[in-house]
Structure 1
Amino acid sequence: MGVPPKAGRPGKPAGKSVRRSLDNARQGKAATLKPPNKQRGADRKALAGVTPQWTPEEVEECFRRFQAATAVPKGELLHQNPYTLLVAVVLSAQATDAGVNKATPALFAAAPTPEKMVALGEDKVRDLIKTIGLFRTKAKNVIALSQKLITEHGGDVPRSRDALEALPGVGRKTANVVLNMAFGEPTIAVDTHIFRVGNRTGLAPGKTPFDVEQKLLEVVPDAYKLHAHHWLILHGRYVCLARRPLCERCLIADLCKWPGKTVAA
């Protein structure tokens, strides 16, 4: 594949400085970001859909590289079974996985099933998760969804999106995570990291998480859909950071269409 055109100027070959920047990025050499105001401007352009679209060949190459680097990516939330995964994802709303993982070992040791969670009771659940944001509301939801699993699903986590989203505290993103991780469905849960990566890089621009999800489902090749969710989350969490993206470490720097990406130092 040849050197891609500069972002925002389709069809015009990238100059020597851009090629040198990408060479430096691949070699892990020092790099600098554009000034913060230019970064913000570039992100606004991406959200407005100004960033050029990727070709199917570029999308294929992007995920080929992700797969080559991490063949089977893993989620970072600690869990034991589909039920504890569901609870962990509910607890992770507006919280970090690391923060949730500090609280859930004790919770899941005491209550690894809906029946044991209901027996544990809301007060005890609240005490065990009090280090997590919105813990009072989340404790109520955990007990309520556990009760509903018992009464409507025989204590099992349903494999239906509609049934999952009918549970207290469960929205589309949580349902997508459970369907993907517990049941092997090729769903893509768009969190803040995937939303940023999709818009910033031009891979899947959209004004809402649902828009980005639908675009990703459209452009990601079927062979990569099962793990696309985790590859993109990990890329956004550890490389394509919100404030200071580490473009010099990026596997897809030469494919990225973001006008604010790293230039050579």
Structure 2
Amino acid sequence: MVKVRLKDDVREYENGTTVADIARSIGAGLYRAACAAKLDGKVVDLRTPVEKDCELQILTFDDAEGKKAYWHTTSHIMAQAVKHLFPDAGFAIGPAIENGFYYDFDLPRTLTPEDLRSIEAEMKKIIKQDLPLERFELDEDAAVALMEKEHQKYKVELIREHAGKGEKISFYRQGDYTDLCAGPHLLSTGRVKAVKLTNCTGAYWRANAKNKMLQRVYGISFPKAADLKNYLNMLEEAKKRDHRKLGRELDLFDIYE
């Protein structure tokens, strides 16, 4: 048995009990809301087994680290959708950011607004499938071989930066999509409830103008559709305020007075 110190309690569990099962034992609502966990101060997946006495905090979307895991998982869902629609796409990086997430893609042509709508629709199909996100680790040679088989040169470059360190390289798999990633991630794609792709811009690989220009797609996601609607309304109001401010600065509203 292991002793797990929670926020207001200390409980005992069988050695190897996962964080997800501990969350479920605390309450069904917490289990449904759980995004990740903090195990002795380290942010981990919900699939992580607890194998010694520890301090545990279940993280939800209301926590910064939980929100980051939620958005990071959504970026992987977007990448999987892009793979379905553009099988020859190259994948660079796809982190969570302050407000949402992005992923940088090497694509055969410039994305259009209609493409973004198609990607978003494909993401919703992947979410509906409720695919589990499974972490696994490989040594450097096996990791390179896996990404070379997938023709993912950007991932190979990132892996080779670990050359000689003797470190295991971690990946996450969901259905037919595998990505180089340290995590943590949600239990499954179905935990993402509301998503919107918001913008597409150019971005140089490694932020270096000597490298290839990639296409960076931004998005946002929430556990509730109402939260997404409120966020998009807030963005729209901000645009209107910026327009009015610019108008005042240029005296555009004084022309006909």
Question: The TM-score by the shorter chain falls in which range?
Answer: under 0.3
Larger strand share, 1 or 2:
2
TM-score (norm 1): 0.23
TM-score (norm 2): 0.23
Larger helix share, 1 or 2:
1
Higher relative contact order (Cα pairs below 8 Å, separated by 6+ residues): 1
